[in-house]
Structure formats: C-alpha cells, structure tokens
C-alpha cells in the first residue's frame, strides 16, 4: 500500500517508521526543509519539500498512485481543502484529515473526507491513558488490518523494570518503536536502555497480541 502524508510535523518520523515496519510504502510531503532532510537521512528518499495545495508537488509525491492521503497540518481548513483537492483531482481512494479545533467538527463531519480525526480528542484520550489505571492504549490500527500501534506504560512493580529490550520476550512480529521516560526524554539507544517504572513504550503489535504484550510489560510475579 502506498501512503502519502502531508504536513504531519513531529509525527512524520514515527509514521514513516511504523508504516515501513508494516510493509507499506510511505512518502512525506512537507514545507519544513529541516524535517524533510532528517527523514531523507534516516529513511532514504521518501520525503520531499512541497506544498500539499500544489498539484505539481502532489504529483511529484506520487499521489496519483496512492491508496491513502493524510493531511496533518495545524491549519484545519488547509487539511480539508487538500483532501478535497486530492480526492477530486487524483481520485485517491481514501483521504484522512486531522483537525484541531473542535468547533470545526460539523464542517469536517459533513465533508467528503473519508476519515476525520480530531487531535484534541486524541490528546485527551492519550492523557487519560497516561494518568489512568489501565496501562495499555491502542493508538491506531494500521492499513491491512493485521497490525496496530499500542502504548504501554511500565507499572511500578513490573518484572520488566531493569531489563533491556533484547531481554523482553515479546511475541514474534512485534517491534518497539519508541521508549519515552517519565520526564519525556526519548531514548535513542533502545537496545541498551534499562526500563524504569512509568516509562511509556510505543510498540508495533501483531493484531490480537496487544493484551499479551501488555502482560509481559506490566505483570508482577
């Protein structure tokens, strides 16, 4: 599956890593030159500098053959307009638009965009998962239906505390994408990092194995 993501900001690198890990082909179109160069350095030529409202830039990004187009800028109406442009001009099968202002919910719900996602609701759900009693949250199902991305918070008495990633007996096909400590620091050396209580781990999980992964990272025996 070929996925084009426009103006996704800080989410870009995580999205690229996740989709590539699931076997999909992904391309980032962004106006942030620094971000584009970073993605190119980390993943190859899967990103370019461009405007999601430009037919030429969208063509260069390969939107004409994309199965999914995602617009994730901070400007709600630009996201809506870009999705409508892509749907009408390129006949892209599925468009996804993020929007930030809850007051715009009716506009987006009545639009012809296939999937609309409110970032405020996502943030509320994420905060609830962090401060709540349940340590695992599913962030999204990936295209194809056989994998998902989950967030698991290491509990205070977990057997995983003090272990490194290679020592965790995670199910085959699962992959740790990111580890963030309680103070929000992203761990660059995931292989050598020793897990601590309240670390949050983002994991690519095979479908229906999410609960097993949660058990491995939170159980106490």
Q: Do 61 and 48 contact (CB within 8 A), yes or no?
A: yes
Residue 27's SS3 state is strand
- Rounded distance, CA 156 to CA 218, Å? 8
Both 111 and 154 in one domain: the answer is no
Both 101 and 194 in one domain: the answer is no
Quick check: is 11 in a domain? yes
Tokens linked to 195: 């897990």
Both 109 and 157 in one domain: the answer is no
Residue 52's SS3 state is coil
Quick check: is 126 in a domain? no
Both 11 and 107 in one domain: the answer is yes
Higher pLDDT, 119 or 172: 172
CATH at 149: 3.30.70.1450
Quick check: is 124 in a domain? no
Residue 13's domain comprises: 2-119
Both 48 and 142 in one domain: the answer is no
Which whole number is the average pLDDT over 100-110? Answer: 82
Both 91 and 164 in one domain: the answer is no
Domains in the chain, number:
2
- Percent of the chain past pLDDT 70, that is, above it, reads 91
60-86: pLDDT as tens digits: 999 999 999 999 998 999 999 999 999
129-140: pLDDT as tens digits: 544 445 787 877
CATH at 39: 3.40.50.720
Residue 177's SS3 state is strand
Both 79 and 180 in one domain: the answer is no
The 3-class SS string of 116-131 reads EEEHHHHHHHHHHHHH
Split at pLDDT 50, 70, 90, the class of 124 is low
- Rounded distance, CA 154 to CA 137, Å? 12
Given CA atoms 13, 19, 22, 25 in this order, what sign does their dihedral have? negative
pTM: 0.58
Question: Can you state the percent helix, strand and coil of the chain, rounding each to 5?
Answer: 35, 25, 40
Domain boundary among 93, 119, 145: 119
Quick check: is 195 in a domain? yes
- pLDDT above 60 (res 173): yes
């Amino acid at each position: 599956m070929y996925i084009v993501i426009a103006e996704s900001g800080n989410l870009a690198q995580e999205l690229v890593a996740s989709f590539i890990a699931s076997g999909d082909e992904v391309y980032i179109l962004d106006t942030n030159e620094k971000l584009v160069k970073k993605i190119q350095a980390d993943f190859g030529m899967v990103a370019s500098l461009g405007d999601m409202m430009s037919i030429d830039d969208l063509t260069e990004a390969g939107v004409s053959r994309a199965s999914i187009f995602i617009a994730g800028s901070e400007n709600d109406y630009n996201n809506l307009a870009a999705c409508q442009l892509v749907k009408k001009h390129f006949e892209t099968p599925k468009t996804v638009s993020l929007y930030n202002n809850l007051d715009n919910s009716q506009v987006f719900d009545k639009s012809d965009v296939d999937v609309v996602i409110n970032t405020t609701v996502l943030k509320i759900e994420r905060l609830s998962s962090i401060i709540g009693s349940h340590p695992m949250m599913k962030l999204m199902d990936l295209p194809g239906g056989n994998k998902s991305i989950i967030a698991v918070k290491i509990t205070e008495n977990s057997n995983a505390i003090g272990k490194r990633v290679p020592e965790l007996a995670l199910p085959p096909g699962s992959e740790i994408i990111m580890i963030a400590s309680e103070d929000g620091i992203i761990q660059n050396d995931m292989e050598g990092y020793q897990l601590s209580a309240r670390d949050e781990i983002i994991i690519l999980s095979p479908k229906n194995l999410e609960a097993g992964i949660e058990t491995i990272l939170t159980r106490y025996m």
